[in-house]
């Protein structure tokens, strides 16, 4: 399952649980693209990955391409998830996206970090 919300202050929070496949990802992307297109400036975001979440490799690949193409629209991306996602965060940094990994359940620290974008 993949879903997102956007706070009143514009913080985008994407939540991933269970297995995320290509059809779920493709169904979500038009909504994410609309948020980016309508943002008055750069977005700050949180990717909240559940402990047991799994993402198909093709989805990760497509998401990396999307992130690289849209890095200029994101000021910070906080990834909340298990340590196995540290490589993903490094790839985001390679795509010139300011990102950081926070432990599962540490949404408050991730929220504060993401909102502190300059």
Task: Give CA angle at 45 (62, 86), nearest 5°.
Answer: 60
Selected residue with higher pLDDT from 95 and 54: 54
Strand bridging mode 19-20 / 54-55: parallel
In this prediction, residue 118 carries a pLDDT of: 54
- Domain assignment present for 7: yes
Reported as a single tens digit per residue, the pLDDT across 59-110 is 988 988 888 888 889 889 999 999 988 888 887 777 778 889 999 989 999 9
Number of domains in the chain: 1
Residue at 65 is within a domain: yes
Domain CATH number, residue 59:
3.40.50.10600
Averaged pLDDT of the chain? 89
Residue 9 lies in a domain: yes
Q: Does residue 116 fall inside a structural domain?
A: no
Indicate yes or no: pTM above 0.85.
yes
* Domain that residue 21 falls in: 2-111
The pLDDT, as a whole number, for residue 68 is 84
């Amino acid at each position: 399952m993949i879903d997102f919300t956007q706070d009143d202050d514009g913080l985008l929070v994407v939540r991933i649980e269970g297995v995320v496949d290509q059809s779920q990802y493709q169904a979500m992307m038009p909504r994410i693209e609309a948020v980016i297109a309508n943002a008055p400036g750069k977005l700050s975001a949180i990717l909240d990955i559940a402990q047991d979440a799994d993402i198909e490799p093709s989805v990760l690949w497509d998401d990396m391409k999307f992130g690289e193409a849209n890095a200029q629209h994101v000021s910070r991306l906080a990834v909340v998830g298990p340590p196995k996602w540290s490589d993903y965060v490094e790839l985001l940094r390679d795509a010139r996206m300011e990102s950081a990994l926070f432990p599962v359940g540490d949404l408050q620290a991730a929220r504060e970090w993401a909102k502190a974008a300059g």
